[in-house]
């Protein structure tokens, strides 16, 4: 049997899903800070960091004070039973391994903090609706960070406005240009126009007017 994993990059909607993080220290705090932005998040631990207490007080997540290390497997299984994803993040490696095995029996996805689990959380670059994930599957976090810095030099904040501009032009063209090939040609012309990109760094309105001129030129 091979231990090779077939990891497919996916964008998953976590709305209404539950993430259970086991461990209230710095690692659990980091994971909770991330996942609580996207999912209903619960942190289970004997003690919690100050930030986790503050997040709980602000209603951003839920805390359960419990010592899973002294619990039998069936009790742990009960605590994580409604989780879509479990993150074992305690400082006890044997407990983390127990949690992984218990979650696997219930087909709950696992995000490991020190190795590759079912779910790998990439380093993310966001520019409006453009999202880029970077991961070395834990082999080199430094290279992930380096790659992110390089990409951020190319994928500037103007990309967010270009997405907005493309969407507006695309909506207009769908209503006014019947041929899909023609619509694609116009959208690419806008996308590859250096003047439009330069205008985006000044104002969206200026870029919009330039793009609109390109569209109008095709309608003559």
List the chain domain ranges. Answer: 18-121, 158-219
Query: Where residue 2 falls among pLDDT bands split at 50, 70, 90?
Result: very low
The CA-based diameter of the chain, rounded to the nearest angstrom, is: 77
Look at residue 3 in the predicted model and tell me its pLDDT. 58
Q: What is the model's pTM?
A: 0.82
Query: Where residue 5 falls among pLDDT bands split at 50, 70, 90?
Result: confident
More confident residue, 141 or 164: 164
Look at residue 141 in the predicted model and tell me its pLDDT. 85
| 48, burial (CB in 10 Å: exposed 0-12, middle 13-18, buried 19+) | buried
Q: Which H/E stretch holds residue 199?
A: helix 194-200
State the average pLDDT over residues 146-160. 94
Q: What is the pLDDT of residues 51-108, one digit of tens each?
A: 999 999 999 999 999 999 999 999 999 999 999 999 999 999 999 999 999 999 999 9
Look at residue 113 in the predicted model and tell me its pLDDT. 87
Q: What is the distance between the alpha carbons of residues 134 and 50, in angstroms, rounded to a whole number?
A: 30
Query: Where residue 1 falls among pLDDT bands split at 50, 70, 90?
Result: very low
More confident residue, 109 or 217: 109
Q: In the block, which residue shows the tokens 């779910």? A: 119
Look at residue 116 in the predicted model and tell me its pLDDT. 85
Look at residue 220 in the predicted model and tell me its pLDDT. 64
Fold classification of 18-121 is Rossmann fold (3.40.50)
Beta bridge pairs of residue 87: 21
State the average pLDDT over residues 201-216. 96
């Amino acid at each position: 049997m091979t231990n090779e994993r077939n990891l497919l990059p996916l964008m998953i909607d976590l709305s209404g899903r539950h993430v259970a993080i086991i461990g209230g220290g710095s690692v659990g705090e980091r994971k909770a800070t991330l996942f609580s932005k996207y999912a209903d998040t619960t942190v289970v631990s004997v003690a919690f960091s100050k930030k986790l207490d503050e997040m709980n007080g602000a209603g951003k997540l839920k805390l359960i004070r419990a010592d899973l290390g002294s619990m039998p497997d069936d009790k742990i299984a009960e605590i994580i039973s409604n989780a879509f994803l479990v993150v074992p993040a305690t400082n006890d490696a044997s407990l983390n391994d127990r949690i992984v095995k218990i979650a696997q029996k219930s087909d709950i996805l696992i995000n490991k903090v020190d190795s590759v689990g079912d779910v790998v959380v990439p380093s993310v670059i966001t520019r409006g609706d453009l999202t880029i994930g970077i991961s070395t599957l834990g082999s080199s976090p430094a290279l992930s960070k380096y790659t992110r810095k390089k990409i951020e030099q190319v994928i500037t904040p103007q990309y967010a406005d270009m997405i907005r501009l493309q969407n507006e032009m695309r909506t207009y063209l769908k209503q006014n240009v019947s041929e899909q090939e023609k619509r694609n040609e116009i959208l690419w012309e806008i996308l590859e126009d250096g003047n439009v990109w330069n205008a985006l760094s000044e104002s969206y309105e200026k870029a919009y007017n330039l793009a609109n001129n390109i569209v109008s030129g095709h309608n003559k």
